[in-house]
Structure 1
Amino acid sequence: MTVRLEQLRRCHFAVDLGAARTRVYVKGAGLVVDQPSAAAVNTRTGALIAVGEFAERMTGRTPSYIRVVRPISGGTVVDIQMAQRMLRHLLGDKMRRALRRKPRLRGAACTPHDAGPLAQRATIETLVGLGARRVELVDTLIAAAVGCGLPVEQPEGMMIVVCGAAHTQVAVLSLGSIVTAERIPVGGEAVDNAIVQHLRLEHELMLPSQSVRPLQLALSGNGLTAHGPTSTEIHGRDVATGLARSVRVDTAAVRDAIQTPLTGVLDGIGKVLRGCPPDLVADLADRGIIMVGGSALLPGLDQMLRQATGMPVNIAERPELCAVQGIGAMLEGQIEPLVLDPLAA
């Protein structure tokens, strides 16, 4: 990672393109953008109406000629032109003028582990549209590990679990590199969908998409643990009549519905551990697992992983910002590379 760190120190800004939120870090200014990855478009004229929080609130509440789109899916740009327009509006005219004044503007971006060439190219093209002359790509796992304070450059094994909206990434790191990793197509959205489907099938209730997060409603208290509340009240729309209705939901049944998508996360962690050298697994038994990402705050998920693996599980401070803070620390030169000098003959 020595060469990459030297290149990152020359960058002027960094972008973390997530399925749920987009974050932009500007060198010397810190985190300047932290908004949902959403944009509202007038389909008649093609005009951009709103981006970020306002566009998110418009979801499900717009007339037929206004469409809320998400140009980023699973950390991958699926609509380059719309992603560029969204980023321009999120940055604002003042910040964009300040960036354009930089000679040979350089940018950096977080990319999911094992992102394909097309996904990497789409990310690069998005930042080039902002005026970047050169774009450096950083693995989200490395950036998140740096952001939560892990000594990634040391010859010690450490496991990090990045819980995103669309994917969960699991990796074991050592000497600034990824020893073994796995990307699981299960995230916070899959858990939310499992709850929504459970309420639709068992209670014939449809939840509003944006008024409240169904996960936070159904999993109050201790969440996934059996010590949580036995029931909770949910408000939504009746499937048959279309009228507003409230039902009392058994949280034990909700926990069972959530187990199905979370089983994939446990399988991914087991696969990563089986692919690790024994010495690194011994380090993990002492150091444990670090959870980052917005979905790491799912109530009781850390206890579930602790019981399944038998290892300590800790949630990073402000886990949703670890990736952008890590790549920001690399831009600011706060991370010293490990220099391995060959032994003299």
Structure 2
Amino acid sequence: MGLFDRFSESQDMGIDLGTANTLIYIPGKDIVLDEPSVIAIDDNKNEAIAVGKEAQKMLGRTPQNVRTIRPLKDGVITDVKETEMMLREFIKKARGNNNLTRSRIIVGVPSGITSVERKAVEEAMETSGAIDNIEFIDEPIAAAIGAGLPVDEPVGSMIVDIGGGTTEVAVLSLQGIVLSDSVRIAGDEVTDAIKRYLKRTYNLIIGERTAEQIKMQIGSAYPTDDDQETMEIRGLNIVSGLPKTVTITIEEIRECIADTVESIIDAIKKILEQTPPELAGDIIDRGIMLAGGGALLRGLDSLIANETGIITHIAPNPLKCVVYGTGKVLEDYERLARTSRKR
């Protein structure tokens, strides 16, 4: 029995269409796709030649007729056609060529998405074959459900979902958002800050993949016992045009990303300041929950706890909270139906 045959009996699908990664969940099958949101397009043929992990390998290594791009920016679609091509290939990987018109598909979207941006998601889903029963769920609610927070109870929960393009900060209660803020500052801005620092300080140009590796290996938001760790970086000397190698420290990276991290902290404080007293008391008792790839930035939980005075937790599987949340809604739709909305 092939991959597509095993998934053909399930019609429903939860999708986390993220700036950095796209994840798909099928009830009863768990996560069936987890790939970078990247597509490689042959401009001569106007067709996709690779998506996901295979396309990511091509970044910076393609001939002139091939573009390798990320068609989402700041959590929203920047090019409907390219996103549709990418989604179509992802859905084929996850489901095969089965008819999707009878499916219930729940898509996680930023809470601050505009009507125009939401329409772009709808168009991409429709042209990918998902014609009927498309529903949307705000990413903070999906992340909270995926992290195991009691969103359907009359208690306050605070979720901070730091993705590639957006940071979603929300206070939730009774399956709804009480307060929220969606700021378009997140993991991508941390990566860009690292690239700018190396260019400014060492005249060193590096690619996106190298900057991502630096962020994951020695990225730091708060001092730790590992502050003596260093990393050797290879790039191109902007002055000589020749390859160059430099050694950087954790402290350097912490300083160069400090402004970006501070913007995330400010968004959290802004929501806390507006939270009603009863819900604020619940949050103080239960703590703040971090989700998304940004939750894995070293020391970020400690920094938030220090700045707010509230204990801060990192969710289990923070990168998968949103898609797990969409899946839980599908699997317990009668109880959690109010968390999503039809288009």
**TM exceeding 0.5:** yes
In structure 2, how many angstroms separate the alpha carbons of the residues matched to 1:180 and 1:157? 11
Aligned to 1:207: 206
Q: Which has the larger radius of gyration?
A: 1
- The answer to whether the 8 A contact 2:111-2:139 is kept is yes
Identical-pair percentage? 33
After superposition, the C-alpha distances for 1:225-254 in whole angstroms (9 at most, x for unaligned) are 153333513222222122222222243232
After superposition, the C-alpha distances for 1:59-99 in whole angstroms (9 at most, x for unaligned) are 1111111111222222222222222221221232782333x
Aligned to 1:192: 191
What TM-score, normalized to structure 2?
0.89
The root-mean-square deviation of aligned C-alpha atoms, in Å, is 2.2
**Structure 1: runs of 5+ lacking an equivalent:** 1-9, 340-345
Query: Quick one: which amino acid aligns to residue 127 of structure 1?
Result: M
Aligned to 1:51: 51
After superposition, the C-alpha distances for 1:92-113 in whole angstroms (9 at most, x for unaligned) are 2782333x1x663332211101
Say whether residues 1:262 and 2:261 are aligned partners.
yes
Query: Quick one: which amino acid aligns to residue 104 of structure 1?
Result: R
After superposition, the C-alpha distances for 1:11-69 in whole angstroms (9 at most, x for unaligned) are 71121110001111223333221111111111122121111111111111111111112
After superposition, the C-alpha distances for 1:299-345 in whole angstroms (9 at most, x for unaligned) are 11111111101110110111010000011011111773599xxxxxx
- The answer to whether the 8 A contact 2:33-2:93 is kept is no
In structure 2, how many angstroms separate the alpha carbons of the residues matched to 1:234 and 1:83? 33
Say whether residues 1:322 and 2:321 are aligned partners.
yes
What TM-score, normalized to structure 1?
0.88
| SS of residue matched to 2:185 | coil
After superposition, the C-alpha distances for 1:237-282 in whole angstroms (9 at most, x for unaligned) are 2221222222222432321111111111111111101111111111
Aligned to 1:252: 251
1:41/1:293 CA distance change after superposition, 3 Å? same
In structure 2, how many angstroms separate the alpha carbons of the residues matched to 1:264 and 1:207? 25
1:230/1:337 CA distance change after superposition, 3 Å? closer
- The answer to whether the 8 A contact 2:24-2:94 is kept is no
- The answer to whether the 8 A contact 1:289-1:311 is kept is yes
In structure 2, how many angstroms separate the alpha carbons of the residues matched to 1:15 and 1:288? 28
1:11/1:179 CA distance change after superposition, 3 Å? farther
| SS of residue matched to 1:216 | helix
Query: Quick one: which amino acid aligns to residue 197 of structure 2?
Result: H
- The answer to whether the 8 A contact 1:226-1:252 is kept is no
- The answer to whether the 8 A contact 1:38-1:55 is kept is yes
In structure 2, how many angstroms separate the alpha carbons of the residues matched to 1:94 and 1:308? 42
Match of 2:225 among 219, 224, 227: 227
Q: Which moved more, 1:136-145 or 1:241-250?
A: 241-250
Q: Which moved more, 1:230-239 or 1:108-117?
A: 230-239
Report how many residues are paired. 326
**Structure 2: runs of 5+ lacking an equivalent:** 1-9, 339-343
1:246/1:224 CA distance change after superposition, 3 Å? farther
Query: Quick one: which amino acid aligns to residue 119 of structure 1?
Result: E
1:311/1:180 CA distance change after superposition, 3 Å? same
- The answer to whether the 8 A contact 1:106-1:132 is kept is no
Query: Quick one: which amino acid aligns to residue 25 of structure 1?
Result: Y
